[in-house]
Structures are given as structure tokens and as C-alpha cells.
Structure 1
């Protein structure tokens, strides 16, 4: 079981995260510089709390905490916060930070239903290759998530342009070509990471159980998602798909990622249920 200190830290992190997202929402509505700075400061504190929480959990269970459903959602949230802090530092895209951490906080909120004291998995499922497989898989998910956020921002900005609404929201969004390029570059990062994660997962399962996992729904859907993102890159490079078409294809791909993780792996997979 998790220690009292790690549980209290998790609760404090959740409350701080909620307050940060709330302040970002107020800034989204009113664009107050002071509120934005406070929200950014609280988000930095959340990142620090999550980092310490990972270290405490690693000490408690003596493994890298990315094995349980609870741990992977926290890890996913931590990656999103890390990316949003870095991108905001270099590019000053406040709205991206807000949108990214709505997603990150949703992952933390979902975690409250899985239990903060989720036990470690069976020792036979542990091993360096498995840790690497899961870590790389969630790095790819995070890249796809952030790419999707930029695609959604692209569609919003495009709609404002078509309607000639030169409001505050329009002025706070980056240019269309910048949003499109950010999204594309993140897919270029996430696509090979997904491939590597799939290969490592297949190798680990073969070593562990002496056979390949062919017919389990989750790897099958992962393969379909890999093909979908491959088509995105192909259409982008060979056919010149940019803007709206690639944005919607990107959103479709990440919707599949969410369905695969939250539903296929949980309710239909015979193996990916820990």
C-alpha cells in the first residue's frame, strides 16, 4: 500500500492542479497577465509535486512506476505538464498551456477512480524491457495528444479567420502555418516512438511467454493506429495535405489512441488489463 506521505502529496498535487487549471480558464476568458503568471507558477509546483510523487512511489515499490493503470495516467499527465512548460517557455503560447493541462488534469481526475494506493503488478510482469516499452508508448501518446491540441487550435483559428472575427482569442492564437507545423513535427516524433514501443512489447511478450501476442485486441488496434498515422505522414509528404485535412486526420488518430487505452485495453484485451 502507498504510504500516508505519498497519498497526502497526491491529494495536494490534485488540488493545486485543479486551481492552476481554474486560473488558466479565468485567464482564457479575461486574459489577465497576473492570473496567467500565478497559474503558470502553480503548474510548475504541480510538476515538482508529481516528480516527487514518482520518486516516493519508486522507493515504496522498488520499480519505475509506470506499470499500473493509475501510474500510467499520472505519468501521462506529467509528460503533458513537462511539454507545456517547455513550449510555453520558448514560444509563449498561453492557450496551448491551458488546453494541454485540461487534458492532463482530466487524466489525474480519472485517476481518482482507480485508487491512489493501487498495488504493484505481479513480479513476473516486471522487467527492464517492459518498463521501456510502456515509457516509450506513453511518450508517443503524449506527442499525439499535443499534436491534436495544436490541430484543434488550428481549426479554431481557421474558423475565426473565415468569419473575420479579429477578437482577443484570434490574437492569442499562433498563425495557422505555425500551428500546422507544430502538429506535423509532433507526429514525426510520435510515429517512430509508437513503432519502437510496439516492437519492444512484442519482443518482451515473446521472451516472457514463448509466443507472440497476435490476436489480442489492444496490439491489433495499436497496429491500425500506426497505419493511420503512417497515412497521415504519407498524405502530408506525398500529396501535400496540410491544414484542415491533416488536422482532422490527426484528431481521428488520437481519438483512436484514447479508445484503445481507456476501453479496448480495459474491457476487451485479455492481457493489457493491469
Structure 2
């Protein structure tokens, strides 16, 4: 399975079991769960942050098309050659590197570092992928290593996927509170390395996380009528990068209505194929 394998788990439908759950404070979580390493407390260094007007491109499979006049490229951390990142940086573009922070993928180079106890149920419909116990110190160490790789490859930011496992029956005792703690851990670790960090979906916790994260990446908020949830990002002038996959948006008139709504909501919206291979691209820019 190629690197787009986690995408179906990322989109929300507004009916997740975790919706409306009471979110404990991060300090309470750490006080009651000794397996959770404390989040980094060092001040965040200066780092790049996209703004609401930045244009973007998302491609996770195939040879990256570097010809788009987009200011931000979201590409796969592992599979994108260093030479491609160098080309994009040489063009003055910002590079966001994608990885799954909430699932194991058995084709990744670091897969063997996960312990059996770190992994829960399989992601439905996505062979080779299993939910991760995001409370695990080992899982967190592996994610730190991935951010080190992002920094070494010259990425400006990271797109950490599958950070809403608690809403997906992962076969692990994850809760809204443990998810909040983990997502804040990811944000702190990215900032400690001078990387911007995007919140991928996790719509139910946007209000708690919009200050800690530098931008948002959303899949199908128009499809699931969740776009209004991103106001905490847009009111701060932070970028909200949205992608829609529904085939109806290939129709010019339907897409025009979509783009009008996207612009009114201060979203940067793309219509792309689900496997994110650059087979087609429509941008509401």
C-alpha cells in the first residue's frame, strides 16, 4: 500500500464516538497516567508559519510535480527524494512533510521499531496499517525520530496524520484526554526542532489545539459539513488547507459553488484524486 493508505481514517463524519467527550487537562492526564512522558516545556524557537493566503499543493504518491505555482507543498516524508525537496526549496517554496503519527504502516522503514503492544486494531479498508497506542513512550520516541528526519531533509513543517484515533475504535484505551496530550506532544516536539506543525483533522479538538498548532490540514470538511469548526484557526490568520475528493467537484459549476464557499470561509481548497498522485488538480485560488 502506498503512502496515501491512511487517508480514509483521517476524514471525520461528525458522528465519531468521541464527540462531546469531556477533555481533561493535560496536567491531569500526566498525573494519572505515568506512561505518558511530559510534553516539552522549552520555549518554541522561531519557525516558519503559513498564513491564510498561502496557496498549496498536496501530492503523496508518484513523481512529485514541482511545476505548480503553489507556495506550500505537502509531500511524503519517507518517499520523497531529497533531490525533489531541494528543487522545491530552490524555487522558494515551503515544504511540509507528511507522516502518520497515529498508525503503523508495515511498509515504512522504521516499522520494526514498533512493539507488538504499541499496535491496536487494523484501520478498516487499509491493509498493513494499525492504530497506535499514542500513550506509549516507544511510539513517541519513534515520532521524535520522524521529526528529526524531517528536519534533516530540510522540511519547513510536518503534517502529522491520524491524530484522532480515539474516535475510531482503535482497540486501545485511548480517550479524548490522551489524544489531546499526544497532539500537544507532537506540536511541542515539532516546535523544538524549528518545524511548523499542522493539525490533521481531529475536528472535535480544534478549539483546544488551534493555539498550539501553526496551521490545519483538513480532508473533506465540505463533504461532512465541518468547515465552520476551523474558525479558531482562520480567526488567528492561520492557514487552513482543505482537500475534497468527491467526484462531483470535477463539474465546473459545482466546483464554482464549492470555491465560493471556501473563499468565504478563508479556506485554501483543492479538489484532488483520493490516491493523491497528481492525476488531476483543481484549485480554488
TM range, normalised to the smaller chain?
under 0.3
* Greater strand share, structure number: 2
Larger Rg: 1
TM-score between the two structures when normalised by the length of structure 1: 0.25
Bigger relative contact order, structure 1 or 2, given CA contacts below 8 A and separation 6+?
2
* Greater helix share, structure number: 1
